[in-house]
Amino acid sequence: MPHPLDSFFAPNSIALIGASRDHEKIPGRLLSMLRKNEYPGKIYPVNPNYAEIDGIQCYKRIADIGAPVDLAVIVIPARAVLDALEQCAACRVKNAVIISSGFAEEGGDSAAMQDAIAALAKRTGLRISGPNAEGFLSQIQRVAATFSPAVDVKPGVVPLVASERRIGIVAQSGGIGFAYYNRAKALGLAVSYVVSTGNEADLGAGEFLDYMVQDPATDVILLFIEGIRDVDKFLAAARRAAERRKPVIVTKVGRSGAGGRAAASHTASMAGWSAAYDAVFARYGFIVSNDLDEAMTIAAVLTTNPLPRGDRVAILTVSGGAGIWGADAVALGGLQVPELSETIQGGIKELIPSYGTARNPIDVTAQGVNSGGLQRSIDLLSASDEVDAILVVLSLSSDVRMPFKQAELKRVLGARHKPVVFYSYTLPSDFARKELAASGAVVLAGLGHVGVAMRQLVDYANFALAPPAEGTRPPALDLSAFLTSPVLSEADSKALLRAAGIAAPDEVLVTDEGGLDAAVARVGFPLVMKIQSPDIPHKSEVSGVRLDIASKGEASAAFAALLAGVRRHRPAAAIQGVLLAPMAKKGVEIIIGTLQDKTFGPMVMAGFGGITTELFRDVVYRPAPVSAEEAERMLRRLKAAPLLDGFRGAPKADVAALSNLIADVSVLAARHANEIAEIELNPALVHAQGQGVTIVDALVVKRK
């Protein structure tokens, strides 16, 4: 089925507005790169100062071309761009790439010019990439609509290609996008597209991601992003990638920026401004990498290997020390390096000298390489059910010798039984790279990156898209009667939760000492007493809680002490009274929270709670709403998740009830995102299996 961007990435004709004869300058390099890459369509240079450029007729205006134009590449002063786009729209040009800079990145009037470009795109239907873009490369269609030197073609140089499976690259930095391409070429990885999104006045990273997801020639996608502007399109494309099982490797920069969020709750104060991005990436199975070379290593492993069935790795080496190093690298990522059975070890011992070792790591020794033991060990391990992946650690520095026979290795790798990854601890020669590429393998450098890549391969193989949240619970409600102050007290917050169908304990708010006896009789002993004020969201900071009260006398003394204490610590606070609640049964302390992210909207958080929440920060975020199944997956990602499974003899916690509570809170937050800024339950006590969850404390913050 055709895609709206087909004519963008595979144009039959290109107009270069601002073309030049000077190949040392960007306008001249654009024409040069198109011709060097043998663009098969028609090229129309547009510049009133020339009659021809490099033997091609040049036109004064785009209207003078008199033929259909699929793509206009614009590289003229910023002030002239809008008029050029109007001319393109009038001539029914389908797409444009604005290389010119000097727009929103400069602010002021320049930003207004970019707004005008966005309005023009919406009004005319002309699809625009940029401004301030570095263009794009469509490798298959031979469209090098960029000035990047990475796409330069050197005469007589045969490209290194290890796999027919291709990588698509979407980058919000043109320099980094083409740096990915530069590294991909060096490794022997095939590329489908590289696109620099620029300032995204019209086309954004989300639409380009969508194109790569549906494109049959793109097998793995690399994203480099600073921030998503076309959020809905991005999320739709991310879901499609997850549904189609097309891997997306993402690098998100800007993680060190301060969130700038004034927050009343622990939930929001713990959320760095990239937490929402990480939550979205996790929901859709994106592979996160924070290093350019690591990202390329992951891409190389994905494009040249099948997904593994498990996490057991065989280390095969010609050097004992290097083999141990390889084992450390994969074990650091949580992968297993199992000892092999006597049967497998016996088979390998027949292939290697007596001073080698057939345990795992397997040291075939240099002599074992010469006798063919390395190759035959790969054959044996590839057919074995005892391991799920093979890491080959060796030296590939020779310019004349290879440890494998090309045809035999190609046969094993082509069968795609399991991943076989190659790491050279010496700098690999061009000869070795070419020979291994001919067999379908990539030579990798950076053992730490290799270990991460193999871990990511296992994780991606195990990923499954969670079912969507049920939209029926909790029910919709009118919150106006509850949201009476910017920050709700615990009593008011719990009243809102109850109205939403979320169970909270039966508690009594006492406003004066005259109502204390009746409240005590209703709640029963032992009980808890807590000061209530919308001005005191964290009661422990003013000694506003009394526990294990067991008599009327203790209750009367606690009531007086709580009021006196809060008047001393916060004399200006508006006091609603004292909340009496039954002492909750023992359980695991959990924090459940929601917040509003400026890019992705409502988010839900779950983690281990109580007063140490901000100390340990063992929390997981997801976009709200979540289903109960996705909520349980969140809990399983917590470092302290074993505490929910009966750690050291404790009873198993009611994870099902907790997951339902997280889901219900997330739906409430998503449904009322325009009214509620934050919700926090901290702690919620998760009791033994079948005994539910008690919301001990609650906080709701009204949206401004």
| Structure tokens that stand for 164 in this block | 């027919």
Residue 590 confidence (pLDDT) above 80:
yes
Cβ atoms of residues 54 and 110 within 8 Å = no
Residue 271 confidence (pLDDT) above 50:
no
**Over pLDDT 70: what percentage of the chain?**
96
| pLDDT bucket at 101, cuts 50 / 70 / 90 | very high
pLDDT score for 370? 83
| Average pLDDT of the segment spanning 364-392 | 92
CA nearest to 242, candidates 274, 197, 287, 277: 287
CA 188 from centroid of its chain's CA atoms: 26
Which stretch of DSSP H or E encloses residue 423?
Answer: strand 420-424
Topology (CATH) of 506-582: Dna Ligase; domain 1 (3.30.1490)
Cβ atoms of residues 167 and 222 within 8 Å = yes
Q: Name the more confident of 273 and 2.
A: 2
Nearest 5 degrees, angle CA 318-CA 319-CA 321? Answer: 150
pLDDT score for 372? 85
pLDDT score for 273? 60
Adjacency order of strands within the sheet including 577-582: 508-510, 577-582, 527-532, 545-549
pLDDT score for 258? 44
What are the start-end ranges of the E strands in 198-312? 220-225, 248-252, 287-288
In CATH terms, 588-702 corresponds, of 3.40.50.1370, 3.30.470.20, 3.40.50.1110, 3.40.50.11440, to: 3.30.470.20
- Note the CATH number of domain 6-297: 3.40.50.261
Lowest mean pLDDT among 179-193, 281-295, 342-356: 342-356
Strand partners, 193: 138, 168
pLDDT score for 537? 86
Residue 52 confidence (pLDDT) above 60:
yes
Q: CATH 3.30.1490.20: which residues of the chain?
A: 506-582
| pLDDT bucket at 64, cuts 50 / 70 / 90 | very high
Q: Name the more confident of 211 and 274.
A: 211
pTM for the full predicted model: 0.92
pLDDT score for 470? 76
Mean residue pLDDT across the chain: 93
pLDDT score for 100? 95
Q: For strands 42-46 and 527-532, give the pairing.
A: unpaired
| Average pLDDT of the segment spanning 222-240 | 96
Cβ atoms of residues 188 and 161 within 8 Å = yes
Report helix, strand or coil for 690. coil
| Structure tokens that stand for 62 in this block | 């785009």
* CATH 3.40.190.10 applies to domain 306-462: no
Q: CATH 3.40.50.261: which residues of the chain?
A: 6-297, 306-462
Q: What is the pLDDT of residues 336-365, one digit of tens each?
A: 999 999 999 999 999 999 899 999 999 999
Lowest mean pLDDT among 10-14, 168-172, 258-262, 482-486: 258-262
Handedness of CA 349, 351, 356, 360 (dihedral sign): negative
**Over pLDDT 90: what percentage of the chain?**
84
CA nearest to 308, candidates 433, 164, 461: 461
pLDDT score for 371? 83
Buried b (16+ CB within 10 A) or exposed e, 580-598: bbbbbeebbbbbbbbbbbe
| Average pLDDT of the segment spanning 402-408 | 88
Q: CATH 3.30.470.20: which residues of the chain?
A: 588-702
pLDDT score for 473? 67
| Average pLDDT of the segment spanning 296-325 | 96
Cβ atoms of residues 470 and 627 within 8 Å = yes
Q: What is the pLDDT of residues 107-151, one digit of tens each?
A: 888 899 999 999 999 999 999 999 999 999 999 999 999 999 999
Residue 428 confidence (pLDDT) above 60:
yes
Residue 367 confidence (pLDDT) above 90:
no
Q: What is the pLDDT of residues 492-543, one digit of tens each?
A: 999 999 999 999 999 999 999 999 999 999 999 999 999 999 999 888 888 9
pLDDT score for 181? 97
CA nearest to 301, candidates 87, 453, 173, 174: 453
pLDDT score for 349? 93
pLDDT score for 702? 96
Q: For strands 313-317 and 287-288, give the pairing.
A: unpaired
pLDDT score for 269? 43
